[in-house]
Structures are given as C-alpha cells and as structure tokens.
Amino acid sequence: MRSATRVSRPYPPLGLMKIATYHKWRGDYVRFVKGLCPECRRRKWDRVYIATLFTFHWRTTLETIRYYSVSVDSARDMFVGGVMATLLGAEIEREASVTVLRGLLNKPGMLDPDDHQIVDLLVPDFSILDDTGYEYGLKDAYIAYATRGCPNDCSFCAVRLIEPEFVHYLPIRQQIRAIEEVYGPKQHLILLDNNVLASAQFERIVDDLIDLGFHRGAKMNGRLRLVDFNQGIDLRLLTHEKMALLAKTAIRPLRLAFDYIEIKDLYVSRIKMARDSGLTTLSNYVLYNYQDTPQDFYERLKTNVILNEEFGMQIYSFPMKYIPLDAKDRSYIGPHWNRRFLRGIQCVLIATRGMVGPRQQFFEAAFGRDYQEFMEIVSMPDEYIIHRRKHDNNAAAEWRQLFRALSDEERAAFFDLAGNGANSPSVECTALTSRLRELLSHYPHGGQRPEEAATLELL
C-alpha cells in the first residue's frame, strides 16, 4: 500500500498527484489525505509521502512527519519532498531520518531504482482529491508547464535552487492531450512557468497555445477561455514583439511584478505597452519587507492606482511579504521595517482579503491618501485597522488625535516602542511623556493576533 499526505496549500498538490499516478501504474493502492488523519495513522503503509511548501511551515511539517512515523516500518519509508524539503533537506534528515526528495522528480529511478518512469512528466491523478472533503481550485483547468526553471539568480527566489536548469521548451500539446485522455477537455489553462519570456522558443510556445484553442477571444461552452501564466511575466524581458505575441493568446490576467521602486519607469512603460496591446486586466505582485522601505512600498501600490485611473485599466496588486529562504517562521523583519509596520500591513490586507483593488477610493480608504496617512494607518492598533468602521468615531479617533499631536521626539520614541516592543532598551522611561503613555495605552498586551480574528470587516 502507498499513502500520500501533505501540508496545506491553496493549489492542488501536483507532486503528490503525479506520484499517485506512478504508484497506480505499479498496481499500488493510494490514499490521499490533507493534514492529520487518525484513521490513516492507525494503518501500516508501505510508504508515506509528505509534500512541503514554505520553509516557515517547519514546525507543522515536523509535526506531520512525527504523527505518521508510526504508520511505516522504517523512517526511510517516509518520503518528504517539495520546496521546503529542497531548501532545508539536511535539517529535516537530522530531525527525522526520513528520505528527502530534493528538487524535481525528473530522472528515472528516483522513487524506485528499477523503474524507468520520469514522475514529473506523468499526468497528475486528480481523482485522489475527491474524498478529502477539501475543495481545491482549478478543477476546470489544465495545469502545465511550457518551460522549467529561470535563468535569473534573484536572491529572494527559490526557483534557482529547485529548478536549477532552465528548459526552454516543453511540449504543451502532449501534456494537454494526455490530460484530456483521462479527464476530458478543460475550459482554461494554467501555466506554472517561472520565466516563460526567457525562452528562446517563446514564439513556438504561443503558436502551441493558439493551435490548442487558447487564442484571444476563444470560447468553450459559451464562455471565454483563459490562459494564466500564474507565476508572472518578467517585465524586463518584455518587448513590443513579445507583448504582441502575448496579446494573441487568451491571457487574463497579465501578471507582472513591481518588486523595486527603481524600476518604476520601466514598469510604467510596460503597463502602457500592455494597454496599447489591448491587455487591460493585470495582476501585480508587490514584494515588501526586503530591501525596500515602507515609503517606496506605498508608492508602488499608489502607482498602480494612478495608472488605473489614467489608462482605464484594472490592475489588482497582491503584496507579498519577503521571508528568507531558510526561515522557519514568519518573524523576519527587513532592514527598513519594524514589527508594527508589518503587523499594520497584515491587518489592512486582512480587511482587503489580501488584495489591493483598482479603485482609488478603495485604496485610499485602506492605505491612505498619502504616505503620511499610510504610516498613520499601519501604526494603529490591530483592532482599529481591521474593524475601522467600528472604531473610527471613538477610540480610533482619540488615537489619531494623540498620534498627530506627537512631537518629533515623541514620534521617534513611539515608533521605537511600537516597532520593537515595550521593552525596547533605546527608549528611557523618562522619555515617555504623558501623551506618549496615553497613546501606548491603546495597545493591549497579549491581544489576539490579526490572523486569528474571528470576524473580519471590509473597509
């Protein structure tokens, strides 16, 4: 018997789904569960596979490994793969003595020496998801790759470690036809490429998409078909020619990244290029807590709002907090950030469901009309940010009045205390004026963390 379990993630676990196909071809019984399953734990399995994602899931992953350790005869019969397993594989082996699968299963014999199958090329087994009681997305979409890897060497990105070899072309037709043979035709196409524009075969890839029925305006079952390069397009490699090729496809949305304020002019020029090509719905990844400052983070978000108004577009921004590739929790604070600012942004994103919409009124209500108001918002107590309407006319109004009345010295002391904790050694007790003490009294000790709030209210 073979079993597959995993740590939670929003997309279907493609790695486990391909492993399931591999084992079923070998005549094995496969059971997939999400998280901890007492029934499966009580049984003995030939193997247990555990998929990992972010390194900050370290504690949860180790708990999962230990939970199922009684379900196999030997720890070596437990296989741990995925992103975290690749980045922290040696540490996992020291903690649990399991078999760690690093990187892609892209060579024969990686699961069994006598087998010549390349697991990464197999059709994912969607049927293992049916009995989980958990609703995964993308049920009506092909999930495929046109390329693998990325030639860039960005220090904040794990792709260079997980997929170190850049593969310029993978046959999309073959992948889609194989999926259709088992599951029938799908409405949409999700491509998980990390840098498709770097491919020397990009024009060939676009031709494949068009031949497969994913051209601009294509419909199926009376509905528009969509192509989503889900990991984003490298705007530094965008040319007029490549944008024109993208515009021939059913791409929606066009996903870009605006990670540095230094590329603002380049970013704006590519947005104009998209508009001129007829691509007006965009999704924008915005990295923060890296080498940026809160001010240039705000400016990047506001740039999108201004472009929406100016060009009549819909650019949805998705802020993404940087965490080092080897971090075992989410506590990292970038050199220009502090704990209060990061908590404040997290609270705003809870209220906006993690997204910054295209409407200026919505943006200004959530993030402020200017940088000064933004800093005021993210400095507020968590409760005042998440439930803004509830508190705006009472406690939050009192907090704002006190905050705006702070002198420069008091404000510096406040940011030090609120950002580094009440026990910050750099602020002497004598520096706590009565006004500053009153302001700090709005922050409860040991209060509920924002991600644990039971009821969320949209701004």
Q: What is the pLDDT of residues 106-117, one digit of tens each?
A: 999 999 999 999
Neighbouring residues of 247: CB distance < 8 A, sequence distance ≥ 6: 216, 277, 278, 279
Return phi, psi of residue 156, to 5°: -90, 0
- Global pTM? 0.89
Segment 147-160 mean pLDDT? 93
Q: What is the pLDDT at residue 431?
A: 59
Neighbouring residues of 37: CB distance < 8 A, sequence distance ≥ 6: 5
**Residue appearing with tokens 């992953």:** 61
**How far, in Å, CA of 444 to CA of 450, rounded?**
13
Return phi, psi of residue 82, to 5°: 105, -170
Neighbouring residues of 180: CB distance < 8 A, sequence distance ≥ 6: 186
* Confidence at 451, pLDDT banded by 50, 70, 90: very low
Segment 132-141 mean pLDDT? 79
> What sign for the dihedral angle of Cα 300, 301, 302, 304?
positive
What does the block give as tokens for 11?
């997309």
Q: What is the pLDDT of residues 252-277, one digit of tens each?
A: 999 999 999 999 999 999 999 999 99
Across 1-5, 111-115, 191-195, 209-213, least confident range: 1-5
Q: What is the pLDDT of residues 283-298, one digit of tens each?
A: 999 999 999 999 999 9
Sequence spans of domains, the chain: 2-120, 126-379, 384-452
H/E element holding 144? strand 141-144
3-state secondary structure of 411: helix
Contact indicator for 22, 118 with CB cutoff of 8 Å: no
Segment 344-349 mean pLDDT? 95
Q: What is the pLDDT at residue 446?
A: 32
Selection from 303, 390, 292 nearest residue 342 by Cα: 292
What does the block give as tokens for 449?
């963390």
Segment 104-132 mean pLDDT? 93
Contact indicator for 48, 3 with CB cutoff of 8 Å: yes
CA distances from residue 340 to 331, 344, 414, 441 in whole angstroms, order as listed? 12, 6, 10, 15
- Residue 167 has a CB neighbour count (10 Å cut-off) of 15
Q: What is the pLDDT of residues 62-94, one digit of tens each?
A: 999 999 999 999 999 999 999 999 999 999 999
For 126-379, CATH number out of 3.50.50.60, 3.80.30.20, 3.90.550.10, 3.40.50.10490 equals 3.80.30.20
On the question of pLDDT at 206 being above 80, the answer is yes
Contact indicator for 419, 341 with CB cutoff of 8 Å: yes
* Confidence at 416, pLDDT banded by 50, 70, 90: confident
Contact indicator for 285, 256 with CB cutoff of 8 Å: yes
Q: What is the pLDDT at residue 9?
A: 44
CATH 3.40.50 given to domain 2-120: yes
H/E element holding 268? helix 264-276
On the question of pLDDT at 55 being above 60, the answer is yes
DSSP letter at 289 equals S
